[in-house]
Amino acid sequence: MSMIVRRLSRAATAGLVAAAALTAAAHSAEAADTLGSAAAGQGRYFGTAVAASHLGESDYAATLDREFSSVTPENEMKWDATEPSRGSFTFTSADRIVDHAQSQGMDVRGHTLVWHSQLPSWVSPLGAQDLRTAMNAHINGLMGHYKGEIHSWDVVNEAFQDGGSGARRSSPFQDKLGDGFIEEAFRTARAADPAAKLCYNDYNTDGVNAKSNAVYDMVKDFKSRGVPIDCVGFQSHFNSNSPVPSDYRHNLQRFADLGVDVQITELDIEGSGSAQAADYTKVVEACLAVSRCTGMTVWGVTDKYSWRSGGTPLLFDGDYNEKPAYGAVLSALGGSGGPGDPGDPGDPGDGASCTATYTRTADWSSGYNGQVTITAGAEPISSWTATVTLPAQQSVSSLWNGTPTWSGNVMTVRPSWNGPLAAGASTSFGFTAAKNGSDAAPTVGTCTAS
Ligand code: G3I
């Protein structure tokens, strides 16, 4: 029997799904006593910005892994970090975050492809045609590297001016390519990774104002002309000068009504105590009230690493203690208030679970396609792990909608983007196998949920 190549390239884990029938075991784990699991119960993700440089800090990683179901690299996917000199891409730090997220079954938001800030110095001097070529090459290079692994990309970030004009912001892209650069970036992005949701992301657009009206008009125009846009990100950086707007929910809803998803992408609220907690509650309630608000991301794990650390704007203090805002968010998400609370259904030993079922969805003389469907039990889950044991002769050449690791002929699969599931909800991953003389079916083993 020949040696089998088990490991797949980063790009080869991407793809589509097909249908399912053979059952495996269930396993219990914690339920809605974390931000991620509580949000999953509402059909949403709850994410955080992450810096690769902090992943080695055990309390940071433990808090991240326990609480969040999605990550956004805070700086590591930006243009200056990924293409510091033209055509020379560097993914080391971003890969570290994506690998960590995948090992924990978290989704990844891509931030950001085209932005006037954190641009390497070689970009600005380019002439119009060269800049257009460079912009498209950057999108293709970054999205190609992570094809199939990013749930949503911030394709264009902060392209509109503050103030009352509703005008586009001056930038190399705007000044040399005109308004059309945004449309071009989205069209290029769609072709580069058709599975990724494509978002426009901005700040001070959280309520109805001249800037959000201008973004609204652009999205409406894109939808009417078939320009590929799937979502709008509302950064939601709040403080006393820029409080949570009273028409926040209404504003999210009017964008959703254009036919796009909305996401809260960089949430932080300066303050402390019950006032900060009350503001966080408003934000979570607004998202939950809008069915197309698919998830929320806070802009960091702990106050001590926040870009506004002096304003203590996050959910965990510098020692990773839960702040009142944490409890408020968990409660607004329908969570149980934390481990150990009387009657907390999320304490260890409670019954979150999943099942895995296998079916062969295509068959030919030398190979077949298999599909494994993961179904959450009676409680929501934030992630899952399933094992598939292949007959020794067989080899897997591609796998989609999951991230595999191998031990001999046992494939352990975690989510690529599809970790959180509401109670009773399903997702699936698929794979192509070569028979190499054995037509036997693989065996699906334990499904574990967390
Ligand atoms: O890593 C270097 C370090 O080596 C050096 O010693 C130090 C000296 O200044 O700089 C460090 O890099 C800093 C980097 O954050 C990492 O900490 C940069 O100077 C600093 O400019 C950078 O700030 C980031 C900022 O974007 C840049 O515009 C923040 O971390 C990041 O939170 C912030 O995020 C933005 C979003 O991308 C877009 N929306 C607004 C949001 C907040 O400004």
pLDDT tens, residue by residue, 172-185: 999 999 999 999 99
CATH class of 354-449: mainly beta
- What pLDDT does 350 receive? 54
CATH class of 32-333: alpha beta
What average pLDDT does the chain have?
89
Ligand 1 centroid–CA 266 distance in Å is 14
- What pLDDT does 445 receive? 83
333: which 2 tokens?
Answer: 């998400």
- Rounded average pLDDT over 23-27: 25
Q: What's the CA gap between 213 and 218, in Å, rounded? A: 9
Sorted by where each begins, the domain ranges of the chain are: 32-333, 354-449
pLDDT at position 3 over 90: no
Q: Cβ-count burial of 218 within 10 angstroms (0-12 exposed, 13-18 middle, 19+ buried)? A: buried
* Contact call for residues 181 and 171 (beta carbons, < 8 A): no
| Mean pLDDT comparison of 24-38, 67-81, 419-433, highest-scoring range | 67-81
- How many percent of the chain have pLDDT more than 70? 90
To the query of whether residue 266 is one of the catalytic residues in this protein, the response is yes
Q: What's the CA gap between 266 and 75, in Å, rounded? A: 12
Query: pLDDT of 94-121, one tens digit each?
Result: 999 999 999 999 999 999 999 999 999 9
Helix (H, G, I), strand (E, B) or coil at 383: coil
Ligand 1 centroid–CA 236 distance in Å is 17
Q: For 216, phi and psi rounded to 5 degrees?
A: -60, -45
22: which 2 tokens?
Answer: 């053979």
Pocket test for ligand 1, best of 74, 114, 116 (most atoms within 8 A of CB): 74
Q: Which of 427, 410, 406 is closest to 418 using CA atoms?
A: 427
- What pLDDT does 337 receive? 58
Q: What's the CA gap between 85 and 302, in Å, rounded? A: 32
356: which 2 tokens?
Answer: 């895995």
Which atom of ligand 1 is found nearest the CA of 112? 37
Q: Find the catalytic residue in 67, 266, 270, 379.
A: 266
Answer whether 309 contacts ligand 1 (Cβ < 6 A): no
Query: pLDDT of 394-426, one tens digit each?
Result: 999 999 999 888 888 889 898 888 888 888 889
Task: Please count the other Cβ atoms lying within 10 Å of the Cβ belonging to residue 1.
Answer: 10
* Contact call for residues 316 and 298 (beta carbons, < 8 A): no
User: How do strand 152-157 and strand 231-234 relate by DSSP bridges?
Assistant: unpaired
Helix (H, G, I), strand (E, B) or coil at 405: strand
Q: What's the CA gap between 200 and 77, in Å, rounded? A: 16
Q: Which of 102, 91, 106, 119 is closest to 35 using CA atoms?
A: 106
- What pLDDT does 10 receive? 54
Rounded to two decimals, what is the model's pTM?
Answer: 0.75
Query: pLDDT of 345-382, one tens digit each?
Result: 344 435 678 899 999 999 999 999 999 999 988 888 88
Q: Hey, what amino acid is at 315?
A: L
pLDDT at position 49 over 60: yes
Ligand 1 centroid–CA 177 distance in Å is 27
